[in-house]
Amino acid sequence: MRNVTFGYTPGRDVIRGIDLDVAPGETVAVVGSSGAGKSTLAALLAGVRTPDSGAIRFGGVDIGDVPETARAQRITLVTQEVHVFAGSLRDDLALANPTADDATMEAALRTVLAGDWFDLLPDGLDTVVGDAGHQLTPMQAQQLALARLVLADPPMVILDEATADAGSAALATRACRSRGARRTQRPRRRTPLGADPRCGPNSVDGERDGGRRGHARAVDRA
């Protein structure tokens, strides 16, 4: 991300002049107060929003030039608002990886600690979930989203408070570590999960983390 500026309305920048480098294998935590622009930054990185100026590249290619389906295979953004798709649990998980067999799906559910409730489902992976079927709690729905993440195994993951309902940021760590792939996390609080908190003088809201001051700036709203 190079010198990225973005605002939802003209003349009101939410993100201004941000540089961010994430190397393969690196985990980065972005922290800041509410409204500072963390989710906006996540949406820009995922290609959901387009910068007003500046560049966002993934593997050297401008993400605006990558077709949506190809982008979705490379970058997964998981937010607090997750969707349970109508159909069986198997159908839901197959969205992430159509070739995954039952054992792989069950392993993914256990990785994100969904094994306890999965074992109680009347029809296992055939159980119809969602509005028309077995209702999942917000926590279970979020675990399901994380299980899809494990199955999809994309090169880059952006978690935007994706564990708020799942109850534990450690769950995201499990999901990501199981992949053994490159990953980017954005935990809600200042719990770096072993991540590198990019909070130098130009951090999201100017606060300084106790970590690596003066590191490459991530967000600058000044």
Residues touching Mg ion, count (CB under 5 A) = 2
Pick 41 or 129: Cβ nearer ligand ATP: 41
Shortest Å, Cβ 126 to ligand ATP: 37
Cα gap 123→184, rounded to integer Å: 35
Pick 46 or 114: Cβ nearer Mg ion: 46
Q: Is 79 in the site for ligand ATP (CB under 6 A)?
A: no
Q: Is 163 in the site for Mg ion (CB under 5 A)?
A: no
Q: Is 39 in the site for Mg ion (CB under 5 A)?
A: yes
- Locus of tokens 């199955």: 151
The DSSP result for 10-39, as a single string, is: TTB-SEEEE-----TT--EE----TTSSHH
Helices 102-111, 169-179: crossing angle, 10 deg rounding: 140
Contact between 31 and 185 under an 8 Å Cβ cutoff? The reply is no
**Coarse DSSP helix, strand, coil percentages of the chain, rounded to the nearest 5 percent:** 30, 15, 50
Torsion sign, CA atoms 212, 188, 116, 75: negative
Q: Is 50 in the site for ligand ATP (CB under 6 A)?
A: no
Pick 38 or 71: Cβ nearer ligand ATP: 38
> From the list ligand ATP, Mg ion, none, which binds 14 (C-beta under 5 to 8 Å, kind-based)?
ligand ATP
Span of 38-46, 105-113, 173-181, 209-217 interacting with Mg ion by CB under 5 A = 38-46
Shortest Å, Cβ 12 to ligand ATP: 8
Pick 92 or 160: Cβ nearer Mg ion: 160
Q: DSSP character for 194? A: T
> From the list Mg ion, ligand ATP, none, which binds 130 (C-beta under 5 to 8 Å, kind-based)?
none
Instruction: Annotate each residue in 30-49 with x if it binds ligand ATP (CB under 6 A) or - if it does not, as one string.
Output: --x-xxxxxxx---------
Q: Is 173 in the site for ligand ATP (CB under 6 A)?
A: no
Using CB under 6 A, list all residues that contact ligand ATP: 8, 14, 32, 34-40
